[in-house]
A and B are shown apart, each in its own frame.
Chain A
Amino acid sequence: MSDSGAKSGPEPSERTTIGITFGNSNSSIAYLVDDKPEVIANEDGDRQIPTILSYVDGEEYYGQQAKNFLVRNPQNTVAYFRDFLGKEFKAIDPTHNHASSHPQESGETVSFTIKDKAGEEEAASTLAVSEVATRYLRRLVSAATEYLGKKVTSAVITIPTNFNDKQKAALVAAAAAADLEVLQLISEPVAAVLAYDARPEAKIEDKVIVVAELGGTRSDVAVVASRGGMYTVLATVHDYEFAGVALDKVLMDHFAKDFMKKNSGAADPRENARNLAKLRLEAEATKRALSLGANASFSVESLADGIDFASTINRLRYETIARAVFEGLNRLVESAVKKAGLDVLDVDEVILSGGTSHTPRIAANLGNIFPQKTRILAPATDVTAINPSELQARGAALQASLIQDYEAEDIDQSTHAAVTTVPHVANAIGVISLNEAGEEVFVPVVQPETAVPARRTVHVSAPNGGDVLIKVVEGNTHIKVTKPEPKVKEDESKAAKVEDADDSDEDDSDFSDEEEEEEKREKVWKIGSTLAEAALKGVKKGGKVEVSITVGSDLSVIVTAREVGGKGGVRGTLTSA
């Protein structure tokens, strides 16, 4: 994109393009094989490649190998740096860098000091974060190049929705320095949606999608209106408390205590940096294993004081001790829906993306928040779900293949605000039908938050034939709440029990109380103001009427109606206000 000022990319015909997701924790590269996106394994066989560089004796390691060096070589290992691109030192959160090279202030930017050259006498280098990113991207590109057998020149890279212009520019510049042309930066949640929509069996529908991007150091949730295959982000929330490392921490604390209990007198492994690093690595591995099995083992050689430690944990126990994090994620997702001005009943799909989305409990919990009909696309809740760790890279690869033949200038023109910023209708537009009771009901044709121009068509039945009325109206939803019959409270007996009990189990009784009273909530369409009426005469018995509504970019409306399979019909226009 032209934001970068780096425009001297290769000719479209010379390009080899890939999709890249570049996370704080992990990165992936993907490529289109026979129109199907595939995430590429690097030379270590990893598809989720840790975003880490490590230098040992002047040798550069990246990915899983570099991650393993967090135990023995933390000061020459750089991890969790992506979010520092394009930021000043005072604006960065160094929390996750505590167990590796620490970020420092260096002018307008952030840098790391590491020994990246061989030889005792060599001085340590100070690497700007952009340089670290460039070196890391170079490794990704070379892995892809090696795999594809031709030099990768260009990529689409995913970024969080809250990346600002400076961060974007810094990322594009870092890629350019790695000899990689950035065709486009696309937002992570939209890449995930595209990955699903590009499946051959996918149908293009108007729907509201919540994308929960659950990574290692951050959780981002976006509410996306998907309208005729075009995507509009309605709201986002970002969270840096409830993510993968918080779950690691829960397990680290659990096993550290377990260790100390079983080895009385032994030191707390969390108090020594090296032991802590071992604890962390193994806790993460155990956590991943718990996504698949009902039990997982934990074993570390010489966890503290030279004592080897092996233990196991079952999933139930894990879900209990991690409950605060899981509930935090629930609240986060709910807050995003609320921020979009929607209700959980408005949401058609929830896409879980990012490594932490493998966790079965998280998917199950979200299933409980949303109504039955909402699809929760995660491995634990839907067998057709795509691997959540691969969604972003796949989406990026798809987009890359769509635009690889565009001139850079064309991409720039097509993606800028003059094209992307368009009016979206606030209300639904639809027709009036009769329900079983013969009452008038609103049937949406154009959904709210549809970008214009837009055209939608419906086939409405006319079982009795004859002359029918096509009444075009605006519509709105509201949530109808039916309260349950108030139950007689068993307060007294309960209160007596609490008083008897020595230990506090009030919490539990509160909990069950909440579950008892469930109110019924449903989404109901309300008929709004009338836009137009049209008559279609002489419809065959058992016929169908095709109504199509076209909203122009100036908000004018064209209504057409004709009998399906018939000739003629009605057509009328409403001018814009």
Chain B
Amino acid sequence: MEATVIPLPLPALPEGWEAENNFKAIGKITQEGATQRTLEPVGPYFLAHARRARHKRTFSEDDRIQAQERAKKVEDNDEGEISEPEDAMMLQRDAKDWKSQDHYKVLGLSKYRHKATEEQIKRAHRKKVLKHHPDKKAAAGRADDDNFFKCIQKATEVLLDPTKRRQFDSVDEEADVEPPTKKQLVKGNFYKLWSHVFKSEARFSKEHPVPTFGDDKSTKEDVENFYNFWYNFDSWRSFEYLDEDVPDDNENRDQKRHMERKNANARKKKKAEDNTRLRKLLDDCSAGDERIKRFRQEASAAKNKKRFEREAAEKQAAEDARLKKEAEEKAAKEAEEKAKTDREANKKAKDAAKNAVKKNKRVLRGSIKDANYFAEGDASAATIDSVLGDVELVQANIDPDEIAALAAKLNGLTVAGEIKGVWKEEVERLVAAGKLKEGEGKSLVA
């Protein structure tokens, strides 16, 4: 065979791909990945294959049998499979009554019914033909009775025509499963019993797949799905099979019309009845369905639980808010109080400092007075004035701490010379520090 050309590109080699001889063996084809099948020994390519396979070798009968056994079977065995005893009553049926015959039973397909595949029907028909064809009976010397054969032909005609088969399946009571009685349900098996009913009803569904009834372990969703589907059931069931025969001649036109109308009405009525029947079935079933009750309880429990949770949460939130507000208020108050005390303390300190300064200033002035204004004898008013003036000057140029330090030095001194010495030292310090000008406070230095 020629190489096929593929236009889609190969991927680039990934970064870092490394292998010995540029090849990595990763998997393998397993035995399960292959089926033994039989090639058709036909055509030039097969003959080439055979030449290669034989390669001067001949195969024994054993090889042949073994190989044949391995090969997957394509042909199914025509004989066997469908077998069902034929009862005498059925064999005597009149083919004219074909409408009332059980077509499945006639073909030996009773247990398959609407589930029978087309292939099964064809096989069943063939089997019956092999047995009941009138020519075979005639050959066996029996009277040429082809009545049951006609029944077979009719059954096949109906069942192999999809439209006619649906019409028959619509009214095939043998396939019906009656709803369970109260008595049956008492014994339990609720799910199994109703399951059978709906499985049988499902044959009329236009839509597939049809949800199954499930059991006590089904989820709420599945159960809801089930009832939704069935309460909205779209059925192909129809009732023309039960029509009364319409006269086939042209003479009775009016009567024909009349019959047709009658049939149409009957079909409609039966269809409506069938819908009602199904609805009732569902009502009965759902009424006894413990799952629905359970889900309802669970739902209401869940709803209550939710409410409790919501209320608790609300309460908690209110409480939290209250506590938060309280905490905030408390913090504000505390901050305010602290500010107040701070303020007061500040004022006290300031006052104390002021007082200390006043006191110290008094010490300073007192020392001058104790030192008699540095005068011999009574100090003149001018001297007093000038000395006090310089004291004022010094005081004005130093801070309270220096005032206090100066006061401390002066405190307890009574000897005028010592007092004067302190002042002199102070003035000189101030002049040195440039806080006083040369010459200022000279009354304290002289």
Is A576's CB under 8 angstroms from B28's CB? Answer: yes
Query: How far is it, in angstroms, between the C-alpha of A186 and the C-alpha of B161 when the chains are bound?
Result: 34
Q: Is A7 positioned at the interface, with any CB of B under 8 Å from its CB?
A: no
Is A443's CB under 8 angstroms from B22's CB? Answer: no
Q: Is A423 positioned at the interface, with any CB of B under 8 Å from its CB?
A: yes
Q: Is B27 positioned at the interface, with any CB of A under 8 Å from its CB?
A: yes
Contact pattern, A 76-100, Cβ under 8 Å of B = 1, otherwise 0: 0000000000000111111101100
Instruction: Tell me how many residue pairs across A and B have CB atoms closer than 8 Å.
Output: 316
Whose C-beta in chain A lies nearest to the C-beta of B125?
A: A241
> Which residues of A from 399 to 442 have beta carbons under 8 Å from B?
399, 402-403, 413-427, 429, 431-435, 440-441
Q: Is A233 positioned at the interface, with any CB of B under 8 Å from its CB?
A: yes
Tell me the minimal C-beta distance from B199 to chain A in angstroms. 23
CB-CB under 8 A from B188, the residues of chain A are none
Is B130's CB under 8 angstroms from A231's CB? Answer: no
Contact pattern, B 222-260, Cβ under 8 Å of A = 1, otherwise 0: 000000000000000010100000000000000001001
Query: How far is it, in angstroms, between the C-alpha of A431 and the C-alpha of B41 when the chains are bound?
Result: 31
Tell me the minimal C-beta distance from B264 to chain A in angstroms. 7
Q: Is A479 positioned at the interface, with any CB of B under 8 Å from its CB?
A: no
Is A576's CB under 8 angstroms from B26's CB? Answer: no
Q: Given A421-B70, A434-B8, A537 and B13 touching (CB < 8 A)? A: yes
Is B38's CB under 8 angstroms from A421's CB? Answer: yes
Is A531's CB under 8 angstroms from B26's CB? Answer: yes
Whose C-beta in chain A lies nearest to the C-beta of B2?
A: A203
Is B264's CB under 8 angstroms from A502's CB? Answer: yes
Q: Is A573 positioned at the interface, with any CB of B under 8 Å from its CB?
A: yes
Interface size, A (range): 35 or more
> Which residues of A from 509 to 559 have beta carbons under 8 Å from B?
529-537, 544-546, 548, 551, 555-557, 559
Is A469's CB under 8 angstroms from B26's CB? Answer: no
Contact pattern, A 459-471, Cβ under 8 Å of B = 1, otherwise 0: 1111110111111
Q: Given A559-B23, A577-B31, A502 and B135 touching (CB < 8 A)? A: no
Tell me the minimal C-beta distance from B50 to chain A in angstroms. 4
Q: Is A161 positioned at the interface, with any CB of B under 8 Å from its CB?
A: yes
CB-CB under 8 A from B396, the residues of chain A are none
Is B43's CB under 8 angstroms from A229's CB? Answer: yes
Is B6's CB under 8 angstroms from A460's CB? Answer: yes
Tell me the minimal C-beta distance from A460 to chain B in angstroms. 5
Q: Given A418-B59, A502-B260, A534-B23, A462 and B46 touching (CB < 8 A)? A: no
Query: How far is it, in angstroms, between the C-alpha of A571 and the C-alpha of B31 when the chains are bound?
Result: 23
Q: Is A204 positioned at the interface, with any CB of B under 8 Å from its CB?
A: yes
Q: Given A469-B17, A551-B29, A575-B28, A441 and B67 touching (CB < 8 A)? A: no
CB-CB under 8 A from A345, the residues of chain B are none
Q: Given A417-B67, A421-B36, A426-B33, A234 and B139 touching (CB < 8 A)? A: no
Q: Is A314 positioned at the interface, with any CB of B under 8 Å from its CB?
A: no
Q: Is A190 positioned at the interface, with any CB of B under 8 Å from its CB?
A: yes
Is B1's CB under 8 angstroms from A534's CB? Answer: no
Q: Is A48 positioned at the interface, with any CB of B under 8 Å from its CB?
A: no
* Cβ contact of A576, chosen from B29, B74, B133, B156, cutoff 8 A: B29
Q: Given A335-B118, A464-B9, A573-B25, A414 and B47 touching (CB < 8 A)? A: yes
* Cβ contact of B37, chosen from A328, A418, A422, cutoff 8 A: A422
Q: Is B335 positioned at the interface, with any CB of A under 8 Å from its CB?
A: no
Whose C-beta in chain B lies nearest to the C-beta of A452?
A: B34
Is B11's CB under 8 angstroms from A468's CB? Answer: yes
Is A232's CB under 8 angstroms from B38's CB? Answer: yes
Q: Is B10 positioned at the interface, with any CB of A under 8 Å from its CB?
A: yes
Q: Is A41 positioned at the interface, with any CB of B under 8 Å from its CB?
A: no
Whose C-beta in chain A lies nearest to the C-beta of B261?
A: A502
Contact pattern, B 106-140, Cβ under 8 Å of A = 1, otherwise 0: 00000000000011001001100111010110111
Tell me the minimal C-beta distance from A246 to chain B in angstroms. 10
CB-CB under 8 A from A228, the residues of chain B are 1, 45
Q: Is B186 positioned at the interface, with any CB of A under 8 Å from its CB?
A: no
Q: Is B5 positioned at the interface, with any CB of A under 8 Å from its CB?
A: yes
CB-CB under 8 A from B125, the residues of chain A are 241
Is B9's CB under 8 angstroms from A421's CB? Answer: no
Is B43's CB under 8 angstroms from A422's CB? Answer: no
Tell me the minimal C-beta distance from A218 to chain B in angstroms. 11
Query: How far is it, in angstroms, between the C-alpha of A161 and the C-alpha of B76 when the chains are bound?
Result: 11
CB-CB under 8 A from B65, the residues of chain A are 417
Q: Is B142 positioned at the interface, with any CB of A under 8 Å from its CB?
A: no
* Cβ contact of B133, chosen from A95, A190, A204, A456, cutoff 8 A: A95
CB-CB under 8 A from B3, the residues of chain A are 457-459, 546, 548
Contact pattern, A 566-577, Cβ under 8 Å of B = 1, otherwise 0: 000011111111
Is A533's CB under 8 angstroms from B257's CB? Answer: no
Whose C-beta in chain A lies nearest to the C-beta of B10?
A: A468
Whose C-beta in chain B lies nearest to the C-beta of A231?
A: B40
> Which residues of B from 188 to 226 have beta carbons under 8 Å from A?
none
Please give the number of chain B residues whose Cβ is less than 8 angstroms from any Cβ of chain A in the complex: 88
> Which residues of A from 113 to 165 have beta carbons under 8 Å from B?
161-162
Query: How far is it, in angstroms, between the C-alpha of A335 and the C-alpha of B140 when the chains are bound?
Result: 37
Is B24's CB under 8 angstroms from A241's CB? Answer: no
Whose C-beta in chain B lies nearest to the C-beta of A331?
A: B118
Tell me the minimal C-beta distance from B332 to chain A in angstroms. 65
* Cβ contact of A461, chosen from B8, B22, B59, B75, cutoff 8 A: B8
Tell me the minimal C-beta distance from B223 to chain A in angstroms. 25
Tell me the minimal C-beta distance from B122 to chain A in angstroms. 6
Query: How far is it, in angstroms, between the C-alpha of A418 and the C-alpha of B257 when the chains are bound?
Result: 70
Tell me the minimal C-beta distance from A204 to chain B in angstroms. 5
Tell me the minimal C-beta distance from A104 to chain B in angstroms. 5
Q: Given A91-B130, A331-B118, A555-B29, A419 and B41 touching (CB < 8 A)? A: yes
Tell me the minimal C-beta distance from B172 to chain A in angstroms. 20
> Which residues of B from 148 to 164 have beta carbons under 8 Å from A?
156, 160-163
CB-CB under 8 A from B53, the residues of chain A are 418-419, 422
Whose C-beta in chain A lies nearest to the C-beta of B140?
A: A105
Query: How far is it, in angstroms, between the C-alpha of A378 and the C-alpha of B325 when the chains are bound?
Result: 92
Whose C-beta in chain B lies nearest to the C-beta of A506?
A: B238
Q: Is A239 positioned at the interface, with any CB of B under 8 Å from its CB?
A: yes
Q: Given A95-B129, A421-B70, A415 and B9 touching (CB < 8 A)? A: no
CB-CB under 8 A from B412, the residues of chain A are none
Q: Is A230 positioned at the interface, with any CB of B under 8 Å from its CB?
A: yes
Most chain A CB within 10 A, of B32, B41, B58, is at B41
Query: How far is it, in angstroms, between the C-alpha of A424 and the C-alpha of B119 when the chains are bound?
Result: 27
Query: How far is it, in angstroms, between the C-alpha of A548 and the C-alpha of B4 when the chains are bound?
Result: 11
Is B22's CB under 8 angstroms from A535's CB? Answer: yes
Tell me the minimal C-beta distance from B94 to chain A in angstroms. 19
* Cβ contact of A459, chosen from B6, B17, B70, B136, cutoff 8 A: B6
Most chain A CB within 10 A, of B6, B10, B50, is at B10
* A-B pairs, 3 with minimum CB distance: A229-B45, A572-B23, A433-B8
- Can you name 13 A-B residue pairings with CB atoms under 8 Å? A89-B136, A91-B130, A104-B139, A105-B140, A190-B40, A417-B65, A418-B64, A469-B17, A502-B264, A529-B27, A534-B23, A572-B24, A574-B27
7 new A-B contacts, CB < 8 A, other than A198-B43, A417-B64, A421-B70, are A95-B129, A102-B138, A328-B160, A464-B12, A469-B14, A506-B238, A536-B22
By a beta-carbon cutoff of 8 Å, the part of chain A in contact with chain B is 89-95, 97-98, 102-105, 161-162, 184, 186-187, 190-191, 194, 197-198, 203-206, 224, 228-237, 239-241, 324, 327-328, 331, 335, 395, 398-399, 402-403, 413-427, 429, 431-435, 440-441, 443, 445, 449, 451-452, 456-464, 466-471, 474, 499, 502-504, 506-507, 529-537, 544-546, 548, 551, 555-557, 559, 570-577
By a beta-carbon cutoff of 8 Å, the part of chain B in contact with chain A is 1-14, 17, 19, 21-47, 49-51, 53-54, 58-59, 63-68, 70-71, 74-75, 78-79, 118-119, 122, 125-126, 129-131, 133, 135-136, 138-140, 156, 160-163, 238, 240, 257, 260-261, 264, 268
